[in-house]
Amino acid sequence: MNPVSWPCPLPGGGTCEEAALQFDAGRKARLLIVPALFDEGNRMRRFTVEVMRRLDHAGIDSFLPDLPGCTESLQPLEAQDPTDWLDAMAAAARHFGASDTLGIRGGCLFTPDRLPAFHYAPVKAASILRQMVRARMLSAREAGREENREHLAEMALAKGITLAGYTLGADFYRHFEPMTADPDAAVIAQEQIGGSGLWLRAEPDENAAQAEALAAIIAGELAP
């Protein structure tokens, strides 16, 4: 596994360098992985890397780029729009010569539409936001404040909002909320992997059996 950089397009033109992890031996099967979003991405990163290790053993190259504003990125998250993320993942696919793509949870919303896609446990953007808003409301209540969902939604649409430590701009919130995953993607449900989803854990975790199961499903389709 090697950390590398790749040229990510900027909204106003030009590019910036973003980070990625890769297993690249120049093989025919080349899988771009769009990670889970926000806290789910943190909880599932170790798992995602373990899936990549197993794909490497199965003869499949894989690439895990950062979304602009997330993980190691130096771009401000509050300046991002969903179209920026779509453009970024399309650019990453071209740069790495991806033949296929895997979206994980919210990452399924940003898999490039020109590539065959696997979607692991896809989730609607509205569901992601509901969970993040709920976490903010619970945190406010513990601090002795009351916030309600309607007011938070109005604030988010007017001037942006900070949810679970992530600052989302008004345009991001507005355009992200209605997004759903491509219905033509090959869906891999959690039931096929076994056990409960790692995104439900309170802390980052991994599960060797689940990583093996997900890699095996993908390798069954892509391995030479």
> Hey, where are the domains in the chain?
2-123+181-222, 125-180
34 close to 108: Cβ distance less than 8 angstroms: yes
215 close to 207: Cβ distance less than 8 angstroms: no
Supply the pLDDT for residue 2. 87
The pLDDT of 51-79, averaged and rounded, is 96
Residue 37: DSSP 8-state: P
Which residues pair with residue 119 across a beta bridge?
A: 103, 187
Q: Which fold has domain 2-123+181-222?
A: Rossmann fold (3.40.50)
Supply the pLDDT for residue 88. 97
The amino acid at residue 193 is I
In degrees, rounded to 5, the angle at the alpha carbon of residue 150 between the alpha carbons of residues 145 and 155 is 80
Asked if the model's pLDDT at residue 224 lies above 80, the reply is: no
Separation CA 173–CA 96 (nearest Å):
29
- Mind listing the pLDDT tens digit for each residue in 81-137? 999 999 999 999 999 999 999 999 999 999 999 999 999 999 999 999 999 999 999
The pLDDT of 131-146, averaged and rounded, is 88
Supply the pLDDT for residue 117. 98
Angle formed by the axes of helices 125-142 and 38-57, nearest 10°: 130
Which residues pair with residue 20 across a beta bridge?
A: 4, 65
Task: Please state the separation of Cα 171 from the chain's center in Å.
Answer: 19
At 16, the pLDDT band (50, 70, 90 cuts) reads very high
- Mind listing the pLDDT tens digit for each residue in 158-215? 999 999 899 999 999 999 999 999 999 999 999 999 999 999 887 777 899 999 999 9
Among 13-22, 23-32, 135-144, 166-175, where is mean pLDDT lowest? 135-144
Separation CA 48–CA 216 (nearest Å):
14
Separation CA 107–CA 181 (nearest Å):
9
Supply the pLDDT for residue 92. 98
Supply the pLDDT for residue 107. 98
- Mind listing the pLDDT tens digit for each residue in 45-64? 999 999 999 999 999 999 99
Residue 126: both structure tokens together: 């509205």
Residue 199: DSSP 8-state: G
Strands of the 117-120 sheet, one edge to the other: 2-9, 15-23, 61-65, 30-34, 100-104, 117-120, 186-188
